[in-house]
Amino acid sequence: MSIEIGAKGRAETVVTEHNTANAVGSGLVPVFATPYMIALMENAAVNAVGPYMAEGEGTVGTRLDVSHDAATPIGMKVWAEAELVRVDRKALTFNVTAYDEAGVIGKGTHDRFIITVDRFLAKAEQRKEAR
């Protein structure tokens, strides 16, 4: 099955003390951390193309170019949406946007690459031999 341009995915969570900037060390304040916003965007992209993956396939993130434009306090729901906008063989590009209940909190682009999981993990393990 080929992946269709326009495929969409979504991921959501609630801001808690565990996913704040001060908890993760990316800042000093108790608001939704940028690394968690990025993870949410990546998860939305994974969800967009998951149904198109063959058994043993997956995707890995290779690039992010995003802004985090608004702070979200503890207790608010946050979510990310991803839309596939480009397919170049195994290279995928998504437009990603993150929201809280008040509106957009971040946006940008995200690239992923289709992999064969076993082959990818074997290659990663070989890096141990290079030390």
Name the active-site residue from 34, 59, 72, 93. 34
Helix, strand, coil tally for the chain in percent (to 5): 30, 45, 25
DSSP per-residue letters across 15-28: --GGGBHHHHTS-S
Verify whether residue 34 is a known catalytic residue. yes
**Are the CB atoms for 7 and 52 separated by under 8 Å?**
yes
Q: Out of 42, 72, 81, 93, pick the active-site residue.
A: 42
Check 20, 68, 93, 97 and give the catalytic one: 68
- Residues catalogued as catalytic: 34, 42, 68
